[in-house]
Amino acid sequence: MWSMCRRSVKESPGAGLVAADTWPILPRKPPAHPIRAGQGSARNASRVCSARLVDMTAVAVPPLRATPGAPFGLYLHVPFCASRCGYCDFNTYTPAELAGQPGSTVAGWLEALRRELDLAAQTLEAPAVDTVFVGGGTPSLLGADGLAAVLDAVRANFTLAPDAEVTTESNPESTSPAFFADLRAAGYTRVSLGMQSAASHVLRLLDRVHSPGRAPAAALEARDAGFDHVNLDLIYGTPGESDDDLAASVDAVLAAEVDHVSAYALVVEDGTALARRVRRGEMPAVDDDVLAHRYELLDARLSAAGLDWYEVSNWSRPGGQCRHNLGYWNGGQWWGAGPGAHGHLGAVRWWNVKHPNRYADELAAGGLPVAGFEELDDDDRHVEQVLLRIRMRDGLPTALLAPEELRRADDAVDAGLLVRSGENLVLTDRGRLLADAIVRDLLAD
Ligand SMILES: C[S@@+](CC[C@H](N)C(=O)[O-])C[C@H]1O[C@@H](n2cnc3c(N)ncnc32)[C@H](O)[C@@H]1O
Ligand code: SF4
């Protein structure tokens, strides 16, 4: 039986080994924040990590400083969705959930975001920004004008590096050729679209509101508008999905000529409508053996078409890797702005209050909207490096491992789960299916 690691530290929300609920990590879904401790391996990561957590209101975070010369990213969280997909536990709100709460309008959120970016720039003395990632939620609900205003707020407070990567997530149903043309003109360089599947019965089960063909069509529209970098997200292992369904989804992705694909094993998150349906026996739980088989199918088809894995749940053409997410996975530095966003600077990880009303209130009162933080010590940092870097195709540098860990790594090499590549340890094809278990073994005391 495979014990497959699920979601991963994906795009967006930068996650960290935060014991909060918003980050991304393994072949599973993306972070709403960099190492998101809300998903699959990310969760495992947060259990392994022994960081000291503080969670309170009006939190006095330790001094936040950017390291000069090191790449710096901004993650901006848009907490709005038109409706909620049954599997999703991201920090996002529908109009019905926000009704009657004046601080939670798009205008109120944008005003608060401007204030946070202003405070961030003052705190950090405005380092040049190498990557911006607008994630959600559904950023495309803001329209191209709203997303241009978000980028204007960044430019009003920071200098964008000349070759900055500027990504926005978008839902296929709220895009059009004019939307992409306006986004490109506003300065966005990359678009990430949630496709999930090309099978209508799978989309229905996931509560997706777009048609099977809309996401690939949107990707082509984005390319026609001048976007060289376009990602499509897939979810695999949904109950009722067949091998043929997944193969057809991959074929549709390939026909859209994107340069990046993120594919996540479906995670049944506690507290979601999907979890309630599984609990009531209305649908089967996701099967680990099926997930492993589907991952192999995906990987074989993508790599045969020239999209190679560079992180366990991410594939790209040469030059198509997401620089913002590489920052998360390489322990880089970023500020996360917006409700529930996470940031990481030096040894400090922190996260904002989650509710848009509260977020706006804290900023209107003149303070940073921080809900909690953790300071990572050397052990925490070590766990995080092993957890994240082993998932990457470049591999985990052996220099990071203690002698006892190196001995355990040799066992994993003998078992065919890792290979040595120069001074690094790289997951084999089989090892990619077992990344979480390999990390646990390496770090075992
Ligand atoms: C939070 S969404 C934001 C993007 C956009 N709102 C959308 O849905 O297309 C980012 C991606 O996370 C992935 N995701 C979210 N929840 C997941 C889950 N429970 N299991 C697997 N993947 C998930 C989906 O692939 C989704 O496209
Ligand atoms: S549209 Fe995206 S962020 Fe919104 S509920 Fe669905 S998966 Fe979550």
- Residue in this structure with the two tokens 């960081």, named with its chain if needed: 51
pLDDT interval class at 286 (50, 70, 90): confident
Helix 435-443, helix 378-389: angle, nearest 10: 150
238 CB under 6 A from ligand 1?
A: no
Q: Confidence band (pLDDT; 50, 70, 90) for 347?
A: very high
Task: Indicate whether 212 pLDDT > 50.
Answer: yes
Q: Quick one: which ligand is closest to 135's CA?
A: 1
Among all bound ligands, the one having the nearest atom to the CA of 272 is 1
pLDDT in tens, 107-136: 999 999 999 999 999 999 888 999 999 999
CB of 298 within 6 A of ligand 2: the answer is no
Q: Whose CA is nearest to atom 16 of ligand 1?
A: 88
Q: In the predicted model, is pLDDT for residue 45 greater than 50?
A: no
Please, are residues 347 and 375 in contact by the beta-carbon 8 Å criterion? Answer: yes
Closest Cα partner for 170 from 97, 230, 105? 230
pLDDT digit string, tens, across residues 184-209: 999 999 999 999 999 999 999 999 99
In this predicted structure, what is the pLDDT of residue 148? 98
**In the structure, what pLDDT confidence band is assigned to residue 104 with cuts at 50, 70 and 90?**
confident
281: left (phi over 0), alpha (psi -120 to 50) or beta: left
Residue 84 Cβ contacting ligand 2 at under 6 Å: yes
Which of these, 93, 87, 136, 427, lies nearest to 235 by C-alpha position? 87
Cα 188 to middle of ligand 1, angstroms: 21
Q: What is the pLDDT averaged over residues 368-375?
A: 96
Comparing C-alpha atoms, which of 437, 445, 307, 423 is closest to residue 379? 445
What is the model's pLDDT at position 296? 97
Ligand 1 atom nearest residue 92's Cα: 1
Indicate the range of 26-35, 251-260, 420-429 predicted with least confidence. 26-35
Atom number in ligand 1 closest to CA 196: 25
Q: How far, in Å, from the CA of 84 to the mean position of ligand 2?
A: 6
Ligand nearest to the CA of 269: 1
Q: What is the pLDDT of residues 135-165, one digit of tens each?
A: 999 999 999 999 999 999 999 999 999 999 9
In percent, how much of the chain has pLDDT > 70? 86
The pair of structure tokens assigned to 377 is 């010590």
Cis ω before 103 (30° cut-off from 0): no
Residue 171 Cβ contacting ligand 2 at under 6 Å: yes
Ligand 2, atom nearest to 169 Cα: 2
Overall average pLDDT of the 79-108 stretch: 91
* Cβ count within 10 A of residue 402: 11
- Is 140 close to ligand 1, i.e. is its CB under 6 Å away? no
Ligand 1 centroid to 88 CA: how many Å? Answer: 7
Does residue 2 have a pLDDT over 80?
no
User: What pLDDT shows up at residue 59?
Assistant: 77
Q: Which amino acid is at 53?
A: L
- Quick one: pLDDT band at residue 337, thresholds 50, 70, 90? very high
Average of per-residue pLDDT values in the chain: 88
Would you place residue 99 in the very low, low, confident or very high pLDDT band (cuts 50, 70, 90)? confident
Question: In this predicted model, what pLDDT tens digit does every residue of 415-433 receive, in sequence order?
Answer: 999 999 999 999 999 999 9
Q: What is the pLDDT of residues 167-177, one digit of tens each?
A: 999 999 999 99
Among the ranges given (22-36, 192-206, 220-234, 313-327), the one the predictor scored with the smallest mean pLDDT: 22-36
**Best of 6, 7, 10 to mutate for ligand 1, by most ligand atoms within 8 A of CB?**
7
Residue 27 has pLDDT above 60, yes or no: no
What's the gap in Å between 130 CA and the centre of ligand 1? 24
Q: From the CA of 415, how far away is ligand 1's center (Å)?
A: 33
Looking at ligand 1, which residue's alpha carbon is closest to its atom 7? 194
Q: pLDDT confidence of 58, banded at 50, 70, 90?
A: low
- Whether residue 6 has pLDDT greater than 50: no
